[in-house]
Amino acid sequence: MTPTLLLGIVIGIVITVGAYKLWKREHLPKNILLQRREKDKRKEQILGMFKTKKEITNNDVEWLLGVADSTATKYLQELEKERKIVQVGEKGRYVHYRLK
Protein backbone atom coordinates (compact mmCIF):
# COMPACT_ATOMS: atom_id res chain seq x y z
CA MET A 1 0.00 0.00 0.00
CA THR A 2 1.44 3.34 -0.98
CA PRO A 3 1.74 6.21 1.49
CA THR A 4 -0.59 8.34 -0.67
CA LEU A 5 -3.31 5.69 -0.60
CA LEU A 6 -2.92 5.24 3.15
CA LEU A 7 -3.15 9.01 3.67
CA GLY A 8 -6.31 9.11 1.53
CA ILE A 9 -7.93 6.37 3.61
CA VAL A 10 -7.10 8.16 6.87
CA ILE A 11 -8.46 11.47 5.56
CA GLY A 12 -11.63 9.72 4.38
CA ILE A 13 -12.19 8.17 7.81
CA VAL A 14 -11.63 11.50 9.57
CA ILE A 15 -14.09 13.29 7.26
CA THR A 16 -16.71 10.54 7.69
CA VAL A 17 -16.44 10.56 11.48
CA GLY A 18 -16.61 14.37 11.58
CA ALA A 19 -19.65 14.42 9.31
CA TYR A 20 -21.42 11.81 11.49
CA LYS A 21 -20.74 13.77 14.68
CA LEU A 22 -22.11 16.93 13.06
CA TRP A 23 -25.23 15.10 11.84
CA LYS A 24 -25.75 13.50 15.26
CA ARG A 25 -25.46 16.84 17.03
CA GLU A 26 -28.15 18.35 14.79
CA HIS A 27 -30.62 15.45 14.73
CA LEU A 28 -30.37 13.51 17.95
CA PRO A 29 -31.45 16.25 20.39
CA LYS A 30 -34.71 16.79 18.47
CA ASN A 31 -35.56 13.10 18.87
CA ILE A 32 -34.69 13.18 22.55
CA LEU A 33 -36.80 16.30 23.05
CA LEU A 34 -39.79 14.65 21.36
CA GLN A 35 -39.36 11.53 23.49
CA ARG A 36 -39.25 13.60 26.68
CA ARG A 37 -42.39 15.49 25.68
CA GLU A 38 -44.19 12.22 24.99
CA LYS A 39 -43.06 10.75 28.30
CA ASP A 40 -44.13 13.89 30.20
CA LYS A 41 -47.51 13.79 28.45
CA ARG A 42 -48.02 10.17 29.45
CA LYS A 43 -47.03 10.84 33.05
CA GLU A 44 -49.56 13.70 33.14
CA GLN A 45 -52.20 11.29 31.84
CA ILE A 46 -51.35 8.93 34.69
CA LEU A 47 -51.64 11.74 37.24
CA GLY A 48 -54.96 12.70 35.64
CA MET A 49 -56.34 9.30 36.60
CA PHE A 50 -56.32 10.45 40.21
CA LYS A 51 -59.12 12.91 39.42
CA THR A 52 -61.52 9.99 39.25
CA LYS A 53 -59.73 7.34 41.33
CA LYS A 54 -58.17 7.50 44.76
CA GLU A 55 -55.77 4.66 43.92
CA ILE A 56 -54.42 3.27 40.66
CA THR A 57 -52.61 0.08 39.72
CA ASN A 58 -50.06 -0.90 37.14
CA ASN A 59 -52.88 -2.51 35.15
CA ASP A 60 -54.76 0.80 35.10
CA VAL A 61 -51.72 2.47 33.52
CA GLU A 62 -51.30 -0.36 31.01
CA TRP A 63 -54.93 0.03 29.93
CA LEU A 64 -54.87 3.84 29.81
CA LEU A 65 -51.69 4.14 27.74
CA GLY A 66 -51.83 0.85 25.87
CA VAL A 67 -48.32 -0.08 27.01
CA ALA A 68 -46.61 -3.19 28.32
CA ASP A 69 -46.42 -4.06 32.00
CA SER A 70 -42.74 -3.11 32.20
CA THR A 71 -43.38 0.28 30.59
CA ALA A 72 -46.21 1.04 33.00
CA THR A 73 -43.92 0.07 35.88
CA LYS A 74 -41.21 2.44 34.65
CA TYR A 75 -43.65 5.36 34.43
CA LEU A 76 -44.92 4.68 37.93
CA GLN A 77 -41.38 4.37 39.29
CA GLU A 78 -40.42 7.70 37.71
CA LEU A 79 -43.46 9.41 39.24
CA GLU A 80 -42.54 7.86 42.56
CA LYS A 81 -38.96 9.17 42.30
CA GLU A 82 -40.36 12.61 41.45
CA ARG A 83 -42.34 12.31 44.71
CA LYS A 84 -45.67 12.80 42.97
CA ILE A 85 -47.10 9.41 43.94
CA VAL A 86 -46.43 6.83 46.61
CA GLN A 87 -46.52 3.05 46.31
CA VAL A 88 -48.74 1.19 48.73
CA GLY A 89 -47.95 -2.49 49.15
CA GLU A 90 -44.81 -4.50 48.59
CA LYS A 91 -45.24 -6.42 45.33
CA GLY A 92 -47.61 -8.27 43.11
CA ARG A 93 -51.28 -7.68 42.63
CA TYR A 94 -51.65 -5.94 45.98
CA VAL A 95 -49.54 -2.95 44.92
CA HIS A 96 -51.33 0.28 44.14
CA TYR A 97 -50.39 3.95 44.01
CA ARG A 98 -51.75 7.11 45.61
CA LEU A 99 -51.01 10.78 45.17
CA LYS A 100 -48.47 12.00 47.64
Separation between Cα atoms, residue 53 and residue 62, nearest integer Å: 15
Listed in sequence order, the residues at least 6 apart from 97 whose beta carbon sits closer than 8 Å to its beta carbon are 55, 56, 57, 76, 79, 80, 85, 86, 87, 88
pLDDT confidence band for 4 (50 / 70 / 90): confident
**Residue-level pLDDT at 18:** 75
pTM over 0.85, yes/no: no
Residue 92: count other Cβ atoms within 10 Å of its Cβ. Answer: 6
Residue 23 in contact with residue 15, Cβ under 8 Å? no
Quote the pLDDT of residue 91.
Answer: 81
Q: How far apart are CA 21 and CA 7, in angstroms?
A: 21
Q: Model confidence over 29-76: pLDDT tens digits?
A: 677 788 989 999 999 999 999 999 999 999 999 999 999 999 999 999
Count of alpha carbons within 13 angstroms of residue 90, beta-carbon side? 0
Q: Residue 45: its pLDDT value, please?
A: 97
Q: What is the structure's pLDDT at 87?
A: 95
Comparing C-alpha atoms, which of 66, 60, 41, 64 is closest to residue 98? Answer: 60
Instruction: Give 3-99's CATH code, choosing from 1.10.10.10, 2.40.40.20, 3.40.640.10, 1.10.3720.10.
Output: 1.10.10.10
